A and B are shown apart, each in its own frame.
Chain A
């Protein structure tokens, strides 16, 4: 177990993780937006936290979390924060530290989840369909009831693979 120490700022995106991300990305897992931190607390109160994680949920209720786990030395952080607060002359009052009840936090998360990902803005005008056959585009449009632009984009994204293009649009 070698965790990345607190306050370090390194990005490891090794080949395996990249592969795993690609594979898992294609499984149709649902990304849960609005989660800013995933923390694992170990028996000895050591906290390993992932800041700004990407969290995906499968239909069965399992979670896949991507991100950089770091040992979160809470006491150290708190001390640093207090020091800083003292330096600037504004000590946080106790109420600032815990203004949110668990219910509030849950409500916030639900609201964030409900708002969902931002709808992709439909591009204006005709998209460039060079290299694609008209018949393929029509087929994708028929099968998925989408606009020509979306069909063209899906076909391009999937290198002209019709089955994959249709699948990506019918999710």
Chain B
């Protein structure tokens, strides 16, 4: 270890990888707890919710349809074209959103809790895009009072 630490060439240490998962789960739990107390439609996630929402709708007009927001499949985010579009989307918020590229859990169905089959792994800005849009369509309001 005489070289300065270089993130690009550093090995992935399993234990550190797990630590990222721990943070993702904490984030999911925290978000869920908030939704049980405050209706999503009244919730603000970031300082630039409007900007994220508008850009999301502009870049991905297909999600103007609330049904597409409600449930989506992991595959539709991971096609070659979708990945390219998302990459551009992410870049727009690189400087504006804290942890924009942090691994984050996102429910594939807004009518379900975080569960083994109803959760997929995305980056934080994708989480914001979907959850802000879901909250605006009141798709998460059912969670209030739920445990």
Name A's B-contacting residues (CB within 8 A): 1-4, 12, 14, 16-17, 19-20, 23-24, 26-29, 40, 48, 58-62, 64, 66, 69, 71, 133, 135-136, 139, 142-143, 158-164, 166-167, 170
Contacts and interface: CB of A to CB of B under 8 A. Distances in A.
A157 to B, nearest CB: 9
A66 B4 CA distance: 9
Interface string B1-42: 111111110100101101110110011001101100110001
- Determine the main DSSP class of B at the interface with A: loop
Nearest to A23: B7
B38 A48 contact: no
Nearest to A158: B98
Interface of B: 1-8, 10, 13, 15-16, 18-20, 22-23, 26-27, 30-31, 33-34, 37-38, 42-47, 98-99, 102
A60 B18 contact: yes
Contact of A26 (B5, B7, B10, B23): B23
A40 B3 CA distance: 13
Contact of B46 (A23, A59, A69, A160): A160
A69 B2 contact: yes
25 contacts: A4-B2, A14-B6, A16-B8, A17-B7, A26-B23, A26-B102, A27-B19, A27-B22, A27-B23, A58-B19, A60-B18, A62-B15, A69-B4, A71-B2, A143-B34, A143-B37, A158-B98, A159-B46, A159-B98, A160-B46, A160-B47, A163-B31, A163-B45, A166-B30, A167-B30
Contacts of A164: 27, 98-99
